[in-house]
Amino acid sequence: MIVLNQVPLSFSLEGALSVGGLGRVANKISNLDNLLDQCRNLVKPSAIYTYLKIDRLTDDVVFLEGNKCLSSQRLVQELKCATELAPFIVTIGPDLERKVSEIAANQLLDSWVLDNFGTYTLRLLNKHIEERIRREKGWRVSKFNPGSTPTWNLEEQEVLFGIFSRKKVEDSIGVTLSDKFVMRPRKSLSGVIAQTENGYHNCQECRKECEYRQMPYKGHG
């Protein structure tokens, strides 16, 4: 089990403006550099991950060592050639979220920009963990997030938290899971990373058109 706190990330204003449609209004916001600096100071990028052997697959369940199992036909289909996977949970911490709420009433635009910068930070952190696992294992990695597609239910977050234990996740990176499977802080992400025969991304199964899309819809699911 690996815990990372204060993960170093390389921020860039150009990259941040690619999130949430910020680039379309950037010329109307005079304090972007200052807000990005605030974001850097407020976030605490942290992660926890581990490696588990895959024991066996059925039609819709991935059985893992330690008597853990993940229920998803899509996972089974994509992991047929995998022998191991890496469950993970990442977060940027609670401080930026608090700041966004504090200034929302009187500084709505700044609040919106900071919130999008938080999303950008979470994306950077997500990529950092992918690259770290790629280097450690030499995998061609694919990433799966419960609740992001119709083929892996949000309730499976409880399994991921159980792999580490809820207490370990809260004590090490400060993330909790509600009875409705919502993570706090809000800008947190859970999932598994594994090597797959063909590259996979959640966007392949999502019809929604949004500025966060990273791959075209392929009609899976």
User: How far apart are alpha carbons 121 and 114 in whole angstroms?
Assistant: 10
For the stretch 56-113, pLDDT in tens is: 999 999 999 989 999 998 899 899 889 999 999 999 999 999 999 999 999 999 999 9
Residue 201: pLDDT band by 50, 70, 90 thresholds? low
For the stretch 108-167, pLDDT in tens is: 999 999 999 999 999 999 999 999 999 999 998 899 999 887 778 999 999 999 999 999
* pTM for this entry: 0.89
3-state secondary structure labels for all residues of 43-94 = CCCEEEECCEEEEEECCCEEEECCCEEEECHHHHHHCCCCCEEEEEEEECCC
Q: Residue 221: its pLDDT value, please? A: 46
For the stretch 177-187, pLDDT in tens is: 999 999 999 99
User: How far apart are alpha carbons 71 and 92 in whole angstroms?
Assistant: 28
Task: Tell me which residue of 160, 171, 197 sits closest to 83, measured CA to CA.
Answer: 197
- List of residues 6+ apart from 12 with CB closer than 8 A: none
User: How far apart are alpha carbons 43 and 46 in whole angstroms?
Assistant: 9
Contact in structure between 197 and 139 (CB atoms under 8 Å) = no
Q: What is the DSSP string of 116-140?
A: HHHHHHHHHHHHHHHHHHHHHH---
Which structural domains are found in the chain, ordered by start?
2-205 (3.40.109.40)
